[in-house]
Structure 1
Amino acid sequence: MFSWALWDWGSAAFNTVILTFVFTVYLSDAVAGDPEAGSQALGVALTVAGVCIALVAPVSGQRSDAGGRRKRWLAVHTTLVVASTAGLFFVRDDPSYLLLGLVLVAVGSVFSEFATVNYNAMLLQVSTPATIGRVSGFGWGMGYFGGLIALVIVLVAFVQPQVGLFGVTAEDGLNIRVVALFAAVWFGVFALPLFFFVPEVPSAGEPQRTSVVGSYVLLGRRLARMWRDERRTLGFLVASAIYRDGLAAIFTFGGVIAAGTFGFSATEVVVFAITANLTAGVGAFLGGRADDRFGSKAVIVTALLGLVLVGGALLVLPGKAAFWMGGLVLAVFLGPTQSASRTFLARIATPGRESEVFGLYATTGRAVSFLGPLAFSGGIALFGTQRAGMGGIVLILLIGLLALLPVRAPERPA
């Protein structure tokens, strides 16, 4: 279980340092030159990545289940994320490098999602029915704390000092480019224990030499069976797709909003990120225990309601102090929402098809993944302010909450 959770600890370097608080801020500000135009370009790049994930994720998960190669494909996808992250070192603070940076971030996000499909499916391999909530919460908490430690190192060693570790300075954006190399090494090192100590999943017994086209045919039949016999699973996939896209938008554009709307400097963004990850990690641990006690649905509904209320308040409250207080409260609810969503699906998944179901989980999320970036970038385009984009994100969370309410909660073990 600890080796499994260390992968989450390592992957936080990509999700937190690259996608949320450091490198995307660098892309939209220093590289693009215009924060508004850079934010729109980032939204477009991540929308394209979402389409790729939606088309491939369920078939990738299905094939890894059928062939007993869940861990092998996790290794392949993890390696590709590490490679694309390291490639960001070559993105200088000049508009001519913006396209390269956007492509590498998009590629990294695609393979990060593919890896997460197999990683999430391993949850049932490292937990029991009675402890699945706290194990899932432990994994999310490890991810948040891993992000926290990585951000502290980044802040102290590269971002804050005039001359950082190894003589790194801000010339040509070198201090941020080195952060990308650090994130790649961090992920690669902490992913290794999973591959040594977590066993491979047994084959599900289906043909292992199915063509890619045949895999899509099998997927279509599986969806037809789910429509007949597993309506609850489909209902949850749709509802979670909506609100998880709102969560993804918070992670992706949080640092951009802090800098562009509330006037945070690059150092202040990282300091806030460190504090928010600490708060979110505690929330994930507590939410995991609440999950086992009260059920996944109760935790998700409570957390989403908190996100909508606090996010709505931030639309009108001015100043850095408001973002500090509201942002930390938001962080408390983020971890439980993500962790309980994973356990909700794991509890209702058909045994032996976990990767396939989590592939559908990724696909349904990415099928509407245009909503978050579109709401954010579209709000900016229509009204000329990032606050309008923030309002779009809050609306998506509210719609997801309303869609979840009719879905029947999974049965909990005695």
Structure 2
Amino acid sequence: MTENSEPGGTDAPRNFPPAPLTGADAAAATVGVDTAQLEAVAAQTHRKGRILSWALWDWGGAAFNAVVTTFVFTVYLTGDEAFGGETFVSAQLGWTLAVAGVVVAVLAPITGQRSDVSGRRKFWLAINTYIVVIVTALMFFVEPGPGFLWFGLFLLAVGTVFFEFASVNYNAMLVNVSTPRSIGRISGFGWSMGYFGGIVLLLIVYFGFINPEVGLFGVTGDNGLAVRVSMLIAAIWFGLFALPVLLAVPEYHAPNAIAREKVGFFASYARLGKDIAALWRTSRNTVFFLISSAVFRDGLTGVFTFGGILAAGTFGFSAGEVIIFAIAANVVAGISTVTVGLLDDRIGPKPVIVAALIGLVISGLAVFFLHDGGQTIFWIFGLALTLFVGPAQSASRSFLARVIPPGREGEIFGLYATTGKAATFLAPTAFALFVTLGGAQYWGILGIVVVLFIGLVLVLPVKPGKRHVD
């Protein structure tokens, strides 16, 4: 039995011959994920509780995404002159994240592959997650001063690397809590939980510590204490909300028909190369999408990673105003993600992705060229940027579900996660390069726009594939 090839590919054997599909199972096969997963997950008891437990990791992960890398800790480093000035620190921050991205690019595909083969996704999710929790707590010791800058950047780099590793395992567990007919909806639920978790945590740290002259427990802003204590709160938040997925969601074990033997670390790279070569032969359209989505998803990450830094440095937002903007941004992103998810089902994911990327490029250029307009410009076009980020992320997963060759769903979703992580150096590198060349922080906006535009150009020729069942 052979599978139908994508344009430009050749016929090749399936990983395993699927049983004939009928009725609801046949309909479900048009969505993605191993069709056997439909019965396996549907038969689970307490499935809704497992879905919530899985999504709570995203809720907790907002501690690192929103508080550490976007709106509080990085703003603290770039906004306090004691660390060396916004332009200098912004460039160093960009280079630091670029180095972290290279480490992720080299190691993430292998760590994800090896956790699949070993059947220990939850174990490595726990290890990677709690390394991030420890690193976040250590940020409490980063006091304002040039001697602490590199310590802070080092912690940020380590946290970024291990958060990406954890995300690989977390994304792979999506098939443990979803069926072919619900994978898009549940994936979107996870995204929205991340946004809304960020809102709640930002409200806590803003009203509890950063905004008041004397916050909870007598904390003040002296010596950066309000921000440093917020890092402890973020660490506790992530540590607590990471527990449900580890306790409630069962471990994944590959069926015997597709299970693979363990190989050594360096042999894992050879296996990865063979897998990608096989995918290129049998489903070239999928490879094109993996490449294009890796690029534009890194641009999407860059919007949030550097948004708070630009708000403070270029547009003069105070630390408190940055958090207020962050809350508004997460509300807009969360609502737009849920709303456009319904549109995705009607018109398909590619028009959503293309429209979102065009909107992001236009909004980014507006922020750059109109930056002299001050905070009003950033409120308008900064929120416009966040309006498009969530839908692009959600539709990207939905698109992939429609082009996966039957019988290879788990493999390709894993490759989707790892290719995305492998490109995490692009936006930080482009941001740092443009800041360095332009001599001012706002030039970094162009770097992010360039990454988004390249992703847009790469995704345009990709065809929304159709599922085939022999």
TM-score (norm 2): 0.83
- Give the structure 1 partner of residue 214 of structure 2: 163
Q: Is the 8 A contact 2:100 2:158 kept in 1?
A: yes
- Give the structure 2 partner of residue 283 of structure 1: 336
Confirm or deny that 1:258 pairs with 2:311. Answer: yes
What SS is found at the alignment partner of 2:84? coil
Distance of 1:78 and 1:411 partners within structure 2: 36
Indicate how the Cα distance of structure 1 residues 9 and 363 shifts in structure 2: closer, same or farther if over 3 A, else same: same
* Root-mean-square deviation over aligned CA pairs: 2.0
Match for 1:295 among 334, 343, 348? 348
Aligned amino acid, residue 305 of structure 1: I
Q: Is the 8 A contact 2:121 2:169 kept in 1?
A: yes
- Give the structure 2 partner of residue 26 of structure 1: 76
Q: Is the 8 A contact 1:28 1:35 kept in 2?
A: yes
Structure 1 residue 298 displacement after superposition = 2.2
Structure 1 residue 82 displacement after superposition = 0.8
Q: Is the 8 A contact 1:88 1:104 kept in 2?
A: yes
Structure 1 residue 288 displacement after superposition = 2.4
Indicate how the Cα distance of structure 1 residues 94 and 359 shifts in structure 2: closer, same or farther if over 3 A, else same: farther
Confirm or deny that 1:13 pairs with 2:63. Answer: yes
Structure 1 residue 348 displacement after superposition = 4.1
Q: Is the 8 A contact 2:108 2:422 kept in 1?
A: no
Match for 2:158 among 88, 103, 107? 107
Aligned amino acid, residue 145 of structure 1: F
> Which structure's residues are more often helix, by fraction?
1
Indicate how the Cα distance of structure 1 residues 68 and 21 shifts in structure 2: closer, same or farther if over 3 A, else same: same
TM-score (norm 1): 0.94
Aligned amino acid, residue 18 of structure 1: V
What SS is found at the alignment partner of 1:399? helix
- Structure 2 residues not aligned, in runs of 5+: 1-50
1:209-220 superposed matches below 5 A:
209-220=262-273
Q: Deviations over 1:262-321 (max 9, x none)?
A: 111111101100111111111111132223333222221121111111112122221111
What SS is found at the alignment partner of 1:210? coil
Aligned amino acid, residue 104 of structure 2: I
Indicate how the Cα distance of structure 1 residues 401 and 164 shifts in structure 2: closer, same or farther if over 3 A, else same: same
Match for 1:379 among 431, 434, 439? 434
Indicate how the Cα distance of structure 1 residues 259 and 187 shifts in structure 2: closer, same or farther if over 3 A, else same: same
Confirm or deny that 1:73 pairs with 2:124. Answer: yes
Q: Is the 8 A contact 2:293 2:396 kept in 1?
A: yes
What SS is found at the alignment partner of 1:315? helix
Q: Which moved more, 1:196-205 or 1:44-53?
A: 196-205
Confirm or deny that 1:117 pairs with 2:168. Answer: yes
Q: Which moved more, 1:130-139 or 1:362-371?
A: 362-371
Aligned amino acid, residue 158 of structure 1: F
Q: Is the 8 A contact 2:171 2:417 kept in 1?
A: no
Structure 1 residue 121 displacement after superposition = 1.8
- Give the structure 1 partner of residue 37 of structure 2: none
- Give the structure 2 partner of residue 240 of structure 1: 293
What SS is found at the alignment partner of 1:89? helix
Distance of 1:259 and 1:74 partners within structure 2: 33
Match for 2:450 among 392, 395, 405? 395
Number of equivalenced pairs: 413
- Structure 1 residues not aligned, in runs of 5+: none
Distance of 2:149 and 2:331 partners within structure 1: 31
- Give the structure 2 partner of residue 57 of structure 1: 108
Indicate how the Cα distance of structure 1 residues 353 and 7 shifts in structure 2: closer, same or farther if over 3 A, else same: farther
Aligned amino acid, residue 267 of structure 1: G
Q: Which moved more, 1:195-204 or 1:347-356?
A: 347-356
- Give the structure 2 partner of residue 327 of structure 1: 382
Indicate how the Cα distance of structure 1 residues 412 and 32 shifts in structure 2: closer, same or farther if over 3 A, else same: farther
Indicate how the Cα distance of structure 1 residues 369 and 93 shifts in structure 2: closer, same or farther if over 3 A, else same: same
